[in-house]
Structure 1
Amino acid sequence: MTSPGPLSPRLPSPLHEVRDARFERHGLRLLLKRDDLIHPLLIGNKWRKLVPNIAAARGRALVTFGGAYSNHLRATAAAGRLLGLPTTGVVRGHELAGRPLNPSLARCAADGMRLHFIDRSTYRRKSEPEVLAGILRAAGAEDAYVVPEGGSNTEAVRGCRALGTELRGRADVVAVACGTGGTLAGLAAGLAAGQRALGVPVLKGGFLEADVQALQERAFGARSGTWSLDDRFHCGGYARTTPELGAFAQDFEQRHGLAVERLYVAKLLFGLAALAEEDAFARGTTIAAVVTGRPFPDPA
């Protein structure tokens, strides 16, 4: 995949083995696929999803969707600044309008993104054509190229297939945290026969199975690759954490010198450690965990 100069990536992203007794005592190897090092501003799967959409936009302004702490909104705003493209972020939560911006939205605004706040009921219906058209009119973005929430569409799924290709022959199981499911859909399609992908949803609800399959059908014509989901590790839902998760993430940081992003990466690693303890993986299994992001703001 090619990309404009300011978005030039570091690919393939590094793959590092970490020695961790929680895995080794069950006969498992743990690798970290450092997708967080692809690009300093479009981190991990955000680069893999956004660059194909930017190419499809062909220079048009971008409009996309997200919550008040959306990594996807920040990445889209950064891409717009780097490329000189106008961006609009449609933010879930009309009550946020007029309030001081949190650090995440302030970063978006500093990168030139126009923020348009809508109520949560309308936000839930944003995929309905008439509702979407009304949102775009109200946001003054009728002629913009629409990138869906989380960036997950056909272009993004095809872009994420390269992640699986980079990991062919390197691990038996490749695990990734899931929000909208686009990364898992592409990753699984890129893996070789005999490898499997494991998705760890960070939202509760159990709806991702159908979403991932639908994304694959649109991108590739059929379900592709071997993949499954384990939705036990969302800690109560998106942006929810628990003291146990926090303690695990802090311990992992101290053991391995990796700043662990809490909303996605920590839940992935926590889930894998729990599965190892359950003997869910056969001895001798090599597991690659995809590090899709890093804490915001970046640690000093």
Structure 2
Amino acid sequence: MPHTLTPDYRTNDSPMMALEHPLFADHGIKVWMKRDDLNHPTIQGNKWHKLKHNLEAAKAAGKSTLLTFGGAYSNHIAATAAAGQAYGFQTIGYIRGDELAGRPERWSHTLLTAQQNGMQLHFLSRSDYRLKTQSDFLDTLSAKHSEAYILPEGGTNQAAVQGFKTLSQTIEFQCPNWTHLFTAVGTGGTLAGLVKFATPNPQRHILGVASLKQADYLIPDIESLSGVSYNAAHSPNWRLLTEYCGPGYGQTAPDIEAAQHWFESQFHIPLDSVYTNKMVYGFLQELQSGRLPSGSKVVLYHSGGLQGNPKT
């Protein structure tokens, strides 16, 4: 049976680090990074917040297995595998891309890490993978894996969103006067949680930087999960920035790589190669485009994902 969640990580914390640089001073802004890459030894960053209430729900339902979905670079896949190993669940991952079946030499470091942590990997064609939210498909999986608690792609559901309440309170305590909060966006759960639990303030802006192309389709889901419509009249104001994703999910470009190299060399904080690199790139572009006014107090949310970086 699953182990009880370790109490130390129910209300775990991570540092808020001030980032000082002439570029920021020249624009009259102050910048901090919320280092949630340091919040848990194996279930890193936003994935801890998304999983903690789901783990409790799986335990309460008497389930012995966690089953979920993701692509080859999914931090959620790696985090679910790590959670299973840490808390006594078996884990199953249904992975997009049947061309990877039986080809471990082509697997990402994320998939290799998940397998090393005990996850059974099943590879689906892209057409079959698109069925992952359909009731008939889920019913078939439930019948096949009756012992499994099924998590959606990215771990994004209402239990996951609820997990960001404590994080939002911690950010408020550590940096009470923030005006702008940047986060990376995959499935939209993290952005939805930060919007849902932000202290109301019409001067605040929560900016999600999409990591995949044509991400506007996420807006209705984020509205539904957060309860806050995509409308500047609401407080806090939130936006989904879709122009900083480069070639697409899991892909980069020279300007994104240059921004990542600059940031890491200046502040000695590693970024992941799928999400936070694009978040920082988006922040720098917004700054240099004049969309962050003088006097802004900016928090960059480091959502982890470092396990997915290529190992040299």
TM-score scaled by length of structure 2: 0.87
CA distance in 1, matches of 2:196, 2:110: 32
Q: Distance in 1 between matches of 2:12 and 2:6?
A: 14
Match of 2:293 among 282, 286, 294: 282
Distance 2:7 2:308 in 1: 21
How far is 1:281 from its partner? 1.5
1:241 corresponding residue in structure 2: 252
Q: Which residue of 2 aligns with 1:172?
A: 179
Is the CA contact (8 Å cut-off) linking 2:37 and 2:306 kept in structure 1?
no
Q: Check conservation: 2:15, 2:34, Cα contact below 8 A.
A: yes
Q: Please say if residues 200 and 235 of structure 2, whose CA atoms lie closer than 8 Å, have aligned partners that are also in contact.
A: no
Q: Which runs of 5+ in 2 are unaligned?
A: 229-233
SS of the aligned residue for 1:167 comes to helix
The residue number in structure 2 matching 1:163 is 167
1:71-82 matches, cutoff 5 A:
71-82=75-86
SS in 2 for 1:63: strand
Q: Which residue pairs with 1:216 in the alignment?
A: 226
| Displacement of 1:224 | 7.6
The whole-number CA distance in structure 2 between the counterparts of 1:190 and 1:166 is 11
**Cα gap change, 1:67 to 1:210, in 2 (>3 Å):** same
Distance of 1:224 and 1:82 partners within structure 2: 38
Deviation for aligned residue 1:162: 2.2
Report matched runs for 1:91-240 at 5 Å: 91-100=95-104, 102=107, 103-137=109-143, 140-168=144-172, 169-194=176-201, 195-205=204-214, 206-217=216-227, 225-240=236-251
How far is the alpha carbon of 1:67 from its aligned partner? 0.7
Aligned pair partner of 2:276 in 265, 268, 273: 265
8 Å CA contact 2:183, 2:208 repeated in 1: yes
Tell me if structure 2 keeps the 8 A contact 1:265–1:292: yes
Would the aligned equivalents of 1:6 and 1:82 in 2 still touch at CA under 8 Å?
Answer: no
RMSD: 2.1
Deviation of 1:7 after TM superposition, in Å, equals 7.0
Give, in whole Å, the separation in 1 of the partners of 2:23 and 2:99: 44
Q: Distance in 2 between matches of 1:224 and 1:135?
A: 40
**Mean CA deviation greater in 68-77 or 17-26:** 17-26
Maintained 8 Å contact 1:160/1:182: no
Shifted more, 258-267 versus 43-52: the winner is 258-267
**Unpaired runs of at least 5, structure 1:** none
Range moving further from structure 2, 169-178 or 128-137:
128-137
- How far, CA to CA, are the matches of 1:40 and 1:161 in structure 2? 21
Match of 1:296 among 274, 285, 307: 307
Q: Is the 8 A contact 1:7 1:39 kept in 2?
A: no
State the TM-score, normalized to the length of structure 1: 0.91
Asked if 1 retains the 8 angstrom alpha-carbon contact of 2:195 and 2:226, the reply is: no
For the residues of structure 2 that align with 1:166 and 1:156, how far apart are their CA atoms? 17
Contact residue 66 and residue 91 of structure 2 kept, 8 A: yes
CA distance in 2, matches of 1:224, 1:182: 18
Bigger shift: residues 198-207 or 100-109: 100-109
**Counterpart position of 2:20:** 19
- In structure 1, what is the Cα distance between the partners aligned to 2:8 and 2:111? 21
Q: Percent identical across equivalent pairs? A: 36
| 2:50 equivalent in structure 1 | 49
Q: Per the alignment, do residues 7 and 242 of structure 1 end up closer, same or farther by CA in structure 2, a change over 3 Å counting?
A: farther
Question: In structure 1, how many angstroms separate the alpha carbons of the residues matched to 2:98 and 2:254?
Answer: 30
Q: Secondary structure at the match of 2:300?
A: strand
| 2:213/2:247 contact within 8 Å kept | yes
CA contact (8 A) 1:66 1:91 kept: yes
- Tell me if the contact between 1:78 and 1:111 (Cα under 8 Å) persists in the aligned partners: yes
Q: Which moved more, 1:127-136 or 1:105-114?
A: 127-136
